[in-house]
Structure 1
Amino acid sequence: MFSIGDFAGLGRVSVRMLRHYDAIGLLRPAHVDPHSGYRYYTAAQLKRLNRIIALKDLGFSLQHVQVLIEEKVGVGELRGMLRLRRAELEAQVQRDNVRLAQVDARLRMIEIEGHMDTGDVILKELPALRVAELSATATSYDDPNSISGNLSPLYPRLMELMEKAAVPMCGAPIAYYLPAPAGPGDETITVHAAFPIGDAEVGDDPGFDVTVLPAIEQAATALHEGSMSEAFRTGQKIATWIDDNGYRTVGPGFAREVYLDCPPGEFDKWVTEMQVPVGKNDGD
């Protein structure tokens, strides 16, 4: 048998925690010395302790943990619950990493306020473009997790449908955004994933939409290098150029994104052209 201190060390928990578990009846010592009151545990009790800690880490209250323990949750069921929790935690870490990257990027933007170089912003005329596309709805334009979470899965699905329909793509992937208000104050937007298809023939009901993106007489454009979670850096550069040169945005003001180079998994190496339709201010 092991003293409470030794058992705590073996189980990687605190003595205080074991005392609490004893007090609430969750994990009783195997033996309590009647004279000294010292608690003693057996190695077999580590099995119960492991289940307690695992269920606690899943987010269950100690009251619910006790119920589950008494119901003798099986190893397979417990493993499934742990895997689900692991996936949730990994997703949360990914979301937090995106937020941290954004914070760092915002800080860098603050540091260069008043010294932004807009020399690489180019005014272009964009021709009409016939595209195959799929769309989804995101909660808001300023939530990168909602944008990427809804937009990213559309591309492999669209590629699969286009291959099945024998419709070849003839240009770089495109993303564009449109407001999709459902009521006052609603900020939801429709995200569109598209591939140019030129004059390719498309049969009936291919599983995707075919539309023509209208020609844009003037668009302020700039290359964004790096993850799209930091696209606001280039967006602010374009905004500064628009303001400094007497232009205004035309339409909803969302930038169209053309993914010129996007190596899988290497988001810091992506090269994306951002295109914002503009017009000259009245009187200019």
Structure 2
Amino acid sequence: MYTIGDFARLGRVSVRMLRHYDVLGLLRPARVDQVTGYRYYEAGQLSRLNRLIALKDLGLTLHEVGRILAEKVGTDELHGMLRLRRAQLEAQVADDMARLVRVEARLRMIETEGVMPADIVIKSVPAVRVAELSATADGFESDKIGSVVQPLYRDLCDRVEAAGLVFTGPAIAYYEPVPEGVRVHAGVQVNLQPGGTYDFDVVDLPALERAATLIHEGGMESVDVSYQQLARWIEDSGHRGSGVAREVYLNYGEGDPAGWVTELQEAVTRAE
């Protein structure tokens, strides 16, 4: 038999915790000295201790742990519970990280309030023909757009490659509000000839006679800052925007996201 101190070291828990489990009836000592009150444990009790700690670390309450231990949960069941809990924790971590990204982006928006970017240019944009796929996102939030546009581009690139077409310019995405949320259009410039039959849409994006353009550097999780800067500049410079911008991915998707470059293009007219 092992003293409570030795058993605690073997089980990688504290003596205080073993006393607590004893009081709750979760792990009773194999023997208690009637004179000294010292607790003694057997090596075979490590099996119950391991299950107790594993269940507790899965997020179960000690009451739930006790009920499961009473049912003599097997190793396979523990593995199943572990896999389920791992998936839950991974989803929670992903949600928390996405929330942090949104908070950081919102803070950057606040920090840039009143700061007018110096690199906004008014220019004409020629018409362009693109191959595209589209789908609907629930809203304009960056994570909702990203979860739709990224699979669209993967699918589109596979289809363009299968059609034997060649990319002739940067990818272009644009958006349109619809009653269900926002229609996301993922397009790529390729060597398309009229009259072809493809498993994607062929769209001619019209020329923009006057477009306010802004270069956004970095990943798209922070593009909302650039969008708000562009909107403030359009208003403060005496223009009226279309409310919808194109995203032209000049350098995107490879290497460090800090080096990615996207041009925002929004059609504008002079405010009356």
Q: 3-state SS of the aligned residue for 1:153?
A: helix
Aligned partner of 1:181 in structure 2 is 179
**How far apart are the structure 2 equivalents of 1:201 and 1:12?**
72
Query: What is residue 256 of structure 2 aligned with on the other side?
Result: 266
Counterpart contact for 2:163–2:198, Cα < 8 Å: no
| Unaligned 5+ runs, structure 2 | none
Identity %: 53
State how 1:196-211 maps to structure 2 within 5 Å: 196-200=189-193, 204=197, 206=199, 208-211=200-203
Partners of 1:98 and 1:229 within 8 A in 2 = no
- Superposition CA RMSD, Å: 3.1
Letter in 2 for 1:149: S
Q: What does residue 117 of structure 2 align with?
A: 118
Mark the CA change 1:6 to 1:200 in structure 2 (over 3 Å): closer, same or farther: farther
In the alignment, is the contact (CA less than 8 A) between 1:165 and 1:202 conserved in 2? no
* 8 Å contact from structure 2 (residues 22, 29) kept in 1: yes
1:66-123 Cα offsets, whole Å, 9 max, x none, are: 5555353334x64455345445434543443343344344434434433x13220112
Q: Aligned partner of 1:53: which letter?
A: I
Distance 1:213 1:23, change over 3 A: farther
TM-score (norm 2): 0.81
Task: Quote the residue 2:126 is aligned against.
Answer: 127
* 1:100 is the counterpart of 2:100: yes
Query: Could you say if the C-alpha distance between residues 34 and 134 of structure 1 is closer, same or farther in structure 2, counting changes exceeding 3 Å?
Result: farther
- 1:244 is matched with which residue? 236
Q: Could you list the structure 1 runs, at least 4 aligned residues long, displaced by more than 6 angstroms after superposition.
A: none
- 3-state SS of 1:53 partner: helix
Partner of 1:185: none
The offset of 1:156, in angstroms, is: 1.8
CA contact (8 A) 2:214 2:263 kept: yes
Q: Secondary structure at the match of 2:233?
A: helix
Return closer, same or farther for 1:26/1:149 CA change in 2, 3 Å cut-off: farther
**How many residues are matched?**
271
- With normalisation by structure 1, the TM-score equals 0.78
State which structure, 1 or 2, has the greater radius of gyration over its C-alpha atoms.
Answer: 2
- Give, in whole Å, the separation in 2 of the partners of 1:65 and 1:210: 59
